[in-house]
Amino acid sequence: LRQANYDILTGLPNRMLALDRLKLALAQARRDESKVGVMFLDLDNFKHINDTLGHDAGDTLLIEAARRISSCLRGTSTVARLGGDEFLVVLPGLNGPDASSQVAERILKTFAPPFMLSGQEVFVTTSIGIATFPDDSDNSGTLLQHADAAMYEAKHKGKSAYARFTPEMSEVSHERLQMESHMRKALELGEFELYFQPIVDTASGGLVAAEALLRWNNPAMGMVMPDRFIPLAEETGLIIPIGEWVVKEACQAAYCWQAMTGREISIAVNVSPRQFRDPGFTDAIMRALNDSNLRPELLELEITERLILDNSIETADILKQLDKVGIRLSVDDFGTGYSALSYLKSYPFDTLKIDKSFVQDVLKENEDASLVRAIINMAHSLGLKVVAEGVEEEDQTHFLKAEHCDYSQGYFYSRPLPEQDFIHWLETNERANLK
Ligand code: C2E
Ligand code: MG
Ligand code: MG
């Protein structure tokens, strides 16, 4: 009986017993016209901890998490482990709409102290979604789905957060599911396409490189922009095969242009932190270079500051390895993420890309101009090249020239273009520059 109803690891009720309890609680609530809170919890980055610290550490974490969640609840509530790192909390007899929020806040608070895992202090957070009977639904299955949708919303808010269900969320979670299933087939069906945006020498306006930007052409959804699907690709791990495809295509394209124009054009490729966690990452990069014959010095990997924050990845080792073979490395969206600058000197970066949010107001806001100026000077004194992103107006190029910003990229020069259009741009731009 115990085995059928309880989770062996944590001793908590399992999914089956949890659903029974939920149905009982709903029946009771119908009789006395009370409310029931249904809470869906998912630990943030659990898979990551499991992968890096091992399964024993993962188990210890689940047991301790179960204990912490239980400590926040009254006797009439149920905590269950649904599987993996997912927990369900049933809160019967809620009085007032804030009662479940208060419980959620208590739970988030008990996750604040570090967990001791394999002799290390590890900070773990959880995301919580809440649905309420009868406000959100009177059906146990639907309540669970709604709480799950709210949980995704909480994750989106930036983790260690809770969210209550709202009707718009069920559309979002439906769209998510749909997108995920489309995405699984997209590579096979050839729905991905690379666009290329020129990166020019600020002083001369001549082309030096292109950034490969991913587009997803789906018959049902139309053209999907990366901001809409990359987060989901990261969450589902699909970014690994997609990222491999991107770097392979990008290297091939750059080699093609070289053969066509007789001169070397670098190619910049965006990589997600998630790709660094894949043990096959560096091999995939090397394979793309070998297969395309592109010189490693012509490949530049763009990395966001998020990666440096993620100190559980052997970031430094991987970056050094890539640096050793000659691949260039740049910090993308500089200035929007982490503000500890020490990483700039300890990691082998070559380039710093100033985020477009600073470049955009460089002529309107004094502070932005000062920031851009300071970033350029700092980068140069560290021996880094600088790219200004999001250059849209001619006046900005004057400012950037005066400040000796090495390279520029933005709509002023060209929007990201499909490969054929890019080749056309390349030819006309070359001619213009020869004149
Ligand atoms: P990013 O790497 O910072 O790329 C620059 C983004 O700024 C691109 O958006 C580009 O279209 C846009 N942009 C360029 N010039 C201007 C301008 O003058 N004004 C304005 N307002 N925007 C400009 P896009 O193509 O939508 O890509 C968004 C983000 O998605 C990229 O930001 C990058 O972080 C990510 N991404 C794109 N392709 C890939 C990929 O293959 N792999 C991964 N992991 N991420 C990718
Ligand atoms: Mg980029
Ligand atoms: Mg950027």
Confirm if 353 and 359 have CB atoms less than 8 A apart: no
pTM beyond 0.85: no
Ligand that comes closest to the CA of residue 227:
1
What CATH number does the domain containing 116 carry? Answer: 3.30.70.270
> Domain range holding 101?
2-165
Q: Are residues 21 and 157 in the same domain?
A: yes
Q: Please give the distance, rounded to the nearest whole angstrom, from the Cα atom of residue 6 to the centre of ligand 3.
A: 48
Residue where the block lists tokens 């439906």: 174
Whether residue 172 is contained in a domain is answered as no
Whether residue 20 is contained in a domain is answered as yes
What CATH number does the domain containing 381 carry? Answer: 3.20.20.450
| pLDDT for residue 311 | 64
Residue to mutate (ligand 1; options 238, 239, 389; most atoms within 8 A of CB): 389
Whether residue 170 is contained in a domain is answered as no
Strand partners, 300: 268, 328
Q: Are residues 185 and 159 in the same domain?
A: no
| 284/248 Cα distance (integer angstroms) | 8
Q: Are residues 161 and 183 in the same domain?
A: no
Per-residue pLDDT reduced to its tens digit, 337-362: 665 677 888 889 999 999 999 999 98
Q: Please give the distance, rounded to the nearest whole angstrom, from the Cα atom of residue 336 to the centre of ligand 3.
A: 10
Cα-based torsion angle of the residue sequence 113, 116, 117, 121 in order, rounded to the nearest 10 degrees: 70
Q: What is the chain's alpha carbon radius of gyration, rounded to the nearest angstrom?
A: 26
| pLDDT for residue 312 | 60
Whether residue 173 is contained in a domain is answered as no
| pLDDT for residue 370 | 94
Contacts of 93 (CB under 8 A, 6+ apart): 29, 34, 35, 36, 76
**Does 435 have pLDDT greater than 70?**
no
Residue 41 in tokens: 């919890």
Whether residue 171 is contained in a domain is answered as no
Q: Are residues 132 and 211 in the same domain?
A: no
Rounded (to 5) percent helix, strand, coil in the chain: 50, 25, 30
What ligand 1 atom has the least distance to the C-alpha of 269?
Answer: 41
Average pLDDT over residues 303-326: 84
Closest-CA residue, ligand 1 atom 41, reads 214
Place 172 in a pLDDT band, splitting at 50, 70 and 90: confident
DSSP codes joined into one string, 21-64: HHHHHHHHHHHTT-EEEEEEEEETTHHHHHHHH-HHHHHHHHHH
What ligand 1 atom has the least distance to the C-alpha of 271?
Answer: 44
**Does 381 have pLDDT greater than 90?**
yes
Which one of 165, 198, 230 terminates a domain?
165
Q: Are residues 406 and 297 in the same domain?
A: yes
The tally of domains found in the chain comes to 2
| pLDDT for residue 306 | 75
DSSP codes joined into one string, 377-426: HHHHHTT-EEEE----SHHHHHHHHHTT--EE-STTT---EEHHHHHHHH
Q: Please give the distance, rounded to the nearest whole angstrom, from the Cα atom of residue 226 to the centre of ligand 2.
A: 11
Place 307 in a pLDDT band, splitting at 50, 70 and 90: confident
Q: Please give the distance, rounded to the nearest whole angstrom, from the Cα atom of residue 22 to the centre of ligand 3.
A: 47
Ligand 1: list residues with CB < 6 Å: 197, 213-214, 225-227, 230, 243, 246, 270-272, 302, 332-333, 356, 389-392, 409-411, 416
Per-residue pLDDT reduced to its tens digit, 161-170: 999 999 988 8
Whether residue 200 is contained in a domain is answered as yes
| 82/12 Cα distance (integer angstroms) | 9
| 333/388 Cα distance (integer angstroms) | 10
Buried b (16+ CB within 10 A) or exposed e, 52-81: bbeeebbebbbebbbebbbebbeeebbbbb
Residue type, 388: A
Q: Are residues 156 and 266 in the same domain?
A: no
Q: Please give the distance, rounded to the nearest whole angstrom, from the Cα atom of residue 252 to the centre of ligand 2.
A: 18
Confirm if 296 and 265 have CB atoms less than 8 A apart: no
Whether residue 85 is contained in a domain is answered as yes
Closest-CA residue, ligand 1 atom 22, reads 390
**Collapsed DSSP state (helix, strand, coil) of residue 223:** strand
